[in-house]
Amino acid sequence: MATAHKMITLPSGEQVSALGLGTWNMGDDADRRAEELETLQLALDLGIRLIDTAEMYGEGRAESLIGEALVGRRDEAFIVSKFYPHHATRHSVKAACERSLKRLRTDRIDLYLLHWRGETSFEETLSGLQDLQEAGKIRHYGVSNLDAADMEEFVAAGGDAVATDQVLYNLSRRGIEWELLPWLRARHIPVMAYSPLEQARLLRNRKLQDCAQRYGRSAAELALGWLLAMDDVIVIPKTGRRTALRENLRAIEQPLDAALLAELDVLFPAPQGPRALEML
């Protein structure tokens, strides 16, 4: 049964779920595939509509899995996909998009991101993205792994409709709070936090486990709840298991209170000065 969830407003005014679902490594293991498919479908059933993927994930296997999960219910999902920097020329980005659309079994990607900065000029990439938008193949465009200086350049190159910057952000990786996050906030561009569980390493963190136990919550709920407490952060944890999906959903159903948020801020402080943007 779908429930109403916290939403985040994109610069276009469109609203998307604050809690999405990542798909890196999904579709790679034949033994896990059926459960992953059911997890994707359960996410939609439970109102988690934003699904993040990339042509890179399993060289298309994650997109194909999503395409299968969305048969007959494409309109329930907001699909985010990404193209490689070596597919960022005006011609290549259109070809990459066509391949992704085919695997996703759809006629449009809701939000299409440059996965990281490569050799192609932003002007050229943007001309390809604008062609795709005009053709109705993508609805919005954005970027990933760009620091504030790169964002300045992207916008100056004509990318002022950029919908998000998807970057590494979690309790143990707070470097973006110095420069990138304020830059995005000043322009009302939401950040999309990837690896919010630090690829499950945060779940084994002793400090987080102890804190979670004291509050009767799980470590995953705390890690996700801390990000979801911000009003301009979209959070995309990956799980291919229905039990973990339900657990992660509790982070949004039962928001963390101010005392717990303050404690997490002390346990996992932001760095003392600016840091280069980290990537995983």
Q: Tell me which residues touch ligand NAP (CB under 6 A).
A: 22-24, 52, 115, 144-145, 166, 194-200, 203, 220, 236-241, 244, 247-248, 280
Comparison of 38 and 131: residue with beta carbon closer to ligand NAP:
38
- What is the 3-state secondary structure of 142-201? EEECCCHHHHHHHHHCCCCCCCCEEEECECCECHHHCCHHHHHHHCCCCEEEECCCCCCC
Look up tokens 């996050």; give the residue: 181
Helix (H, G, I), strand (E, B) or coil at 273: coil
Comparison of 27 and 240: residue with beta carbon closer to ligand NAP:
240
Comparison of 100 and 144: residue with beta carbon closer to ligand NAP:
144
Give least dist CB 27 to ligand NAP, A: 11
H/E stretch holding 67 reads: helix 61-69
Give least dist CB 170 to ligand NAP, A: 7
Q: Is 81 within 8 Å of 55 (Cβ atoms)?
A: yes
Give least dist CB 178 to ligand NAP, A: 20
Comparison of 55 and 247: residue with beta carbon closer to ligand NAP:
247
Q: Is 167 within 8 Å of 144 (Cβ atoms)?
A: yes
Distance, CA of 127 to CA of 120 (rounded, Å) = 11
Give least dist CB 30 to ligand NAP, A: 15
Comparison of 131 and 246: residue with beta carbon closer to ligand NAP:
246
Give least dist CB 45 to ligand NAP, A: 18
